[in-house]
Structure 1
Amino acid sequence: MNTTAAAVEASVTVETIRTWCRNGVITATKTAGRRVIDAASLARRVAIGAMRARTETPTPQEPPATHRQVDYAMNLLSNLAASDFGLEFYDGPTTRPEIAALSKDAASNLIENLKDRQNGPC
């Protein structure tokens, strides 16, 4: 098979196939100045790539804010809005969906910030 067919089969570029040939990753012979790719060799390389893709661990995502954190933050916001200090200089999340979209750590920081504001200016 030629480099174009090999690239299509492996779902890579022709240049990648050429690089694999130069580096001995896949077996190829030159006939009349053109590379002829060994199909079994290419299949092994594709299988190795598929195996690697399955074993790669995904980047861990931060855990989302808990329902308890969301409820507590909403309560603090409500109390702050009703206080003498209000939400005049507050520019963070103010709705349940906005707070629920935060990570657990970010929700903890928000709660600490709101508790500090509830105590009033220093």
Structure 2
Amino acid sequence: MPVAESGHDVFQAIADPTRRSLLKLLANKEMSIASISECYPISRTAVSKHLQVLSDAQLVSSQKVGRETRYKLQPEPLLELQDWLAFFEQYWANKLLALKEYVEADSDEK
């Protein structure tokens, strides 16, 4: 399985619900760690550690602006997830088609 250049797995990075939430939060705007921390019931240190995992997987980037560090989403590594999930779409489509046929056959019998 491909791993980001830094050696961290994108799948591992998004395995945690807090990190997935952080990605959504950063999807529309760049934010400082102080602003991000206000959105979570965990310590600023814990938020920082989550951001570091996301940064190692190249899912977020950071930039120093004055005295604060600002983070933003880097969605490109998520293409790896999309590619992986695309393989399984064939199975979902087959199951949905089978369900449709079953429901329609059951309706015809009544």
TM over 0.5: no
Report the structure number with the largest CA radius of gyration: 1
TM superposition score normalised by structure 2: 0.28
Bigger strand fraction: 2
